Structure 1
Amino acid sequence: MSHATTATAHAALPLETRVARFPAKQVAVAPQHIVSYREADSAHSVALPLVLLHGIGSGAASWVQQFEALGATRRVLAWDAPGYGESTPVAAASPVASDYASVLKAWLDALGVARCVLVGHSLGAIVAGAFAAANPARVAGLLLVSPAGGYGAAEPDVRTSKRDARLAMLAGLGPAGLAETRSANMLSPHADEAARDWVRWNMSRIVPHGYAQATHLLANADLAADLTTFTGRVAVAVGAEDGITLPTACARLARIARASFQTVPRAGHAGYIEAPTAYNTILDTFCRASDASAGNRSFE
């Protein structure tokens, strides 16, 4: 069944019904530390696993349309980042990307994933970049979707003001208020109501402490620096109407990473939610190319 046919078959169902097919799981990665995640596991597939990292206002469930479309041919895994869902927060109050990358390594170890195609959306791209830089042999391909670059290279007052403004917004609005006032910024004007509802649903379920730690991560991180050290396969994609991680900024990161770059028409920041067919094609094409370069010749 094609990705388009699969999407059509599921589209009539409520998203909460669809995500229930991929229930949250938990795995211990250290004493008293767990990671919650969801997966679609294609039995006996020789394809590389696909690992999906969500952004600051989201969670593992946001990838349901990717589970449906891509899980038929490969194992697809999406975590709730530390401090999200039921995942244990990182220890540092003001963490850096390597703190999250270390948990990612422990999670993949626990699941027996030795090598994968790694996809990071927005803040997830920061974690993906840090992991790839530290563990290049484990990443057959790195795909950054609307990547956030972080403010680690900015002037201290810029870093502080960006961090404090987001923390104040969290304190004033809480998760439900953030979902109501900020979710529209994640999408283009072309998004349908189902996509808008799904972005709100995911954002309303953030855990304040985890979101606050992720805000510090955003202030501390410098994705560009990590991309200069990773020499493997990299691609960058961004919605043409992304108002959060602007296409010009994403193109700069692509140049630094010596990566292929593409924009997706009529898509905003959470493009994989509002334009799943286009993004599933991008992910599938990138995964198959990574399979082939890794020696899985049947995927050329």
Structure 2
Amino acid sequence: MTVNTLAISTPTDDAAAAFEARLACFPAQVAKADEAGDVRVGYREAAQLHALRSDTLPLVLLHGIGSGAASWVQQLETLGGTRRVLAWDAPGYGDSTPVAAASPAAADYAARLAGWLDTLGIARCVLVGHSLGAIMAGAFAVANPQRLAGLLLISPAGGYGASSEALRAEKRDTRLAMLAELGPAGLAAKRSANMLSPHADDAARAWVRWNMARVLPHGYAQATHLLANADLAADLAAFQGKVSVAAGADDTITPPAACERLAAAAHAPFEVVPGAGHAGYIEAPAAYSALIDAFCRAAEEQRSF
């Protein structure tokens, strides 16, 4: 499938219309994630089912704290031609029902992920988590190891669960205060530039702002608590499956050194992607799609039947 680069320089009304037109190829869907039908998960999917081989595993993509399912559109385009690819809106994002706890744990998000995959009939998959999505992915891996053929973490956030209570409170309360002061649009204006490297073009910057401006305050606040509560390194140390970690060379939010320490906790290989920042899969989609595809293929070659 041929992929065109994002040809928008600023998040104007015209830019938003262009983004939404591109996303229309992968329309937003909603699935129930519990037996009672009270819990919903919003997601986008690429699946050319007539063209898929029976031995390909589904690929599930989890976004970070300031993003959503729409941020993965370039991976849906490039990877969806050969396998089923799904990107969810985390609980409290998009059309997804928030988790119940005001200050949730990673296990709360992992349970929601399991329920959603059950609804979709996905017994086993390759799971990719970006930033805060890596925390959710790690918790799912520990609770459901038999359901994962591989766990790929991109610029993972480690969480502050192993830190002092004072540091946890500082990190949590600073972010919550910024949310209260600025709102989602203000956050996008203030923080979106930090997500990318100096090499990112205007189109990538517009795409990051577009996604960040659409986060929902309640879901973002819950995710902020999750970040303060989580300890990804502990989950990775407990998981015995296939793991790989990657980070952008110019990532200033989860720097390569911090990501490498998480890889060490998992006894996993670590890769640095040149010329990429925190949201590298947006600004360098070809490199990240190739990385994800190679990981999926390796997981399929190693899985036991």
The 3-state SS of whatever aligns with 1:214 is helix
Deviations 1:93-120 (A, max 9, x none): 0000000000000000000000000000
Partner of 2:44: 38
**1:183 matched to which residue of 2?**
192
Query: Is the Cα contact below 8 Å between 2:6 and 2:204 reproduced in 1?
Result: no
Superposed, 1:117-128 pairs within 5 Å as 117-128=126-137
Please give the alpha-carbon distance, in whole angstroms, between the structure 1 residues aligned to 2:276 and 2:216: 27
**Structure 2 residue corresponding to 1:206, chosen from 210, 215, 226:** 215
Task: State which of 281, 284, 289 in structure 2 corresponds to 1:280.
Answer: 289
- Other-structure match for 2:15: none
CA distance in 2, matches of 1:11, 1:194: 5
Contact 2:184 2:214 in 1 (8 A): yes
Q: Which residue of 1 aligns with 2:57?
A: 48
Query: 2:150 and 2:304 mapped to 1: Cα distance?
Result: 13
Q: What SS is found at the alignment partner of 1:228?
A: helix
**Contact 2:63-2:129 within 8 A present in 1 as well:** yes
1:257-276 alignment runs, 5 A limit: 257-276=266-285
Question: Could you tell me which amino acid in structure 1 is paired with residue 64 of structure 2?
Answer: G
- The secondary structure found in structure 1 opposite 2:100 is coil
Give, in whole Å, the separation in 2 of the partners of 1:17 and 1:287. Answer: 28
* Residue deviations 1:223-251 (CA, integer Å, cap 9, x gap): 00000111111000100000000100000
Higher alpha-carbon deviation: 248-257 or 29-38: 29-38
Q: Which residue of 2 aligns with 1:24?
A: 28
Tell me, what secondary structure is at the counterpart of 1:143?
Answer: strand
Aligned position for 1:147? 156
Cα distance in 2 for partners of 1:48, 1:209 equals 33
**Higher mean C-alpha displacement, 71-80 vs 22-31:** 22-31
Aligned to 1:98: 107
CA distance in 1, matches of 2:6, 2:301: 31
Unaligned runs of 5+ in 1: none
Give 1:83's match in structure 2, choosing from 65, 87, 92: 92
Q: For 1:202-237, what per-residue CA distance to the aligned partner results, in whole angstroms no more than 9, with x for missing partners?
A: 000000000000000000000000001111110001
Listed as ranges, the gaps of 5+ residues in structure 2 are 9-17
**Structure 1 runs (4+) greater than 4 angstroms displaced:** 10-13
Which of 160, 173, 180 is the aligned partner of 2:169? 160
- Separation of aligned partners in 2, 1:203 and 1:82: 15
The answer (yes or no) to whether the contact 2:149–2:242 under 8 Å persists in 1 is yes
> Quick one: distance in 1 between partners of 2:7 and 2:304?
38
What does residue 245 of structure 1 align with? 254
C-alpha deviation, 1:42, in angstroms: 2.5
Pick from 190, 204, 219: which aligns with 1:195?
Answer: 204
User: Is the CA contact (8 Å cut-off) linking 2:7 and 2:203 kept in structure 1?
Assistant: no
Question: 119, 123, 144: which is aligned to 1:110?
Answer: 119
Task: Give 1:257 deviation, angstroms.
Answer: 0.4
Deviation at 1:19, TM superposition (A): 1.1
Q: TM-score if structure 2 supplies the norm length?
A: 0.93
Q: Which residue of 2 aligns with 1:7?
A: 3
Q: Return the alpha-carbon distance in structure 2 between the equivalents of residues 225 and 295 of structure 1.
A: 26
The structural deviation recorded for 1:145 is 0.2
2:234 to 209, 225, 240: 225
Offset, 1:11? 4.9
Q: CA deviation at 1:15?
A: 3.0
Aligned length in residues: 291
Return the offset for 1:16.
2.5
Equivalents in 2 of 1:175, 1:28: separation in Å?
27
Q: Residues of 1 paired with 2:6 and 2:31: CA distance?
A: 30
Secondary structure of 2:3 counterpart:
helix
CA distance in 2, matches of 1:29, 1:116: 17
Question: Between the two proteins, what is the percent identity of the paired residues?
Answer: 69
TM-score (norm. length: structure 1):
0.95
- Give the letter for the 2:90 counterpart: A
**Contact kept in structure 1, 2:185 and 2:213, CA below 8 Å:** yes
Question: Following TM superposition, by how much is the alpha carbon of 1:7 offset from its aligned partner in structure 2, in angstroms?
Answer: 2.0
Counterpart-to-counterpart distance in 2, 1:119 and 1:260: 15
